[in-house]
Amino acid sequence: MKHETPSLDDADRKLLRALQRDASLSQGDLAEQAGVSASLVSRRIARLKEAGVLRAVVGLVDAKSAGLTCAAIIRVRLRDHSAENVRAFRDVVQRMEEATLCVMLTGEADYLVKIVARDLPHFQEIVQSKLLRCKGIAHMESSIVLEYLKDTTELPLD
């Protein structure tokens, strides 16, 4: 249950920065980095979760090390913006475990979807068996990721 977002003090921001860098740190290490006592760390984390500021504490998996060597960005344009087409597209993407990001855009494309796959043939299979079956899609344009210049989940909390 989310309540009104609390104002974040300096210790909250330091704690969130530390969690973004390494969520496996001990409470003592987190307390040291945030400048608070270890007993306050768990209460602050609970408060930030309750407020919806901290969505989850997760481990980040390296895609290539996990055998997912192909990533692509797909720009999608729907046939029209009817509730039926939007719902159909959103349902398809929500069910795709290979889709790691989907955002609605302004401009020519309606959505941008990031797909991770084992390799190029697997990517092709995903597109053909899942995305192209969505009747609400008018046009798709794919770009294979050649190199990540920056890939972070860390938000600028200064």
Which domain CATH number covers 100?
3.30.70.920
Q: Region 63-79: what's the mean pLDDT?
A: 98
- Looking at residues 98-103, what average pLDDT do you find? 98
Distance of alpha carbon 99 from the chain centroid = 10
Same-domain pairing of 74 and 133: yes
Write the DSSP symbol of residue 149: S
42 sits in which H/E element: helix 38-50
pLDDT digits (tens, 9 = 90+) for 75-100: 999 999 999 999 999 999 999 999 99
Looking at this protein, which amino acid is placed at residue 104? Answer: M
Q: Does residue 140 form part of some domain?
A: yes
Return the C-alpha torsion angle 128, 129, 131, 137, nearest 10: 70
Residues 43 and 15 in one domain: yes
Q: Is the pLDDT of residue 1 over 70?
A: no
User: The domain containing residue 83 runs over which residues?
Assistant: 70-144
152 within domain boundaries: no
pLDDT in tens, 141-151: 999 999 999 99
Q: What is the pLDDT of residue 4?
A: 64
Q: Is residue 136 one of the residues assigned to a domain? A: yes
Q: How many structural domains does the chain have?
A: 2
Predicted model pTM: 0.87
Backbone φ, ψ for residue 53 (5° rounding): -70, -45
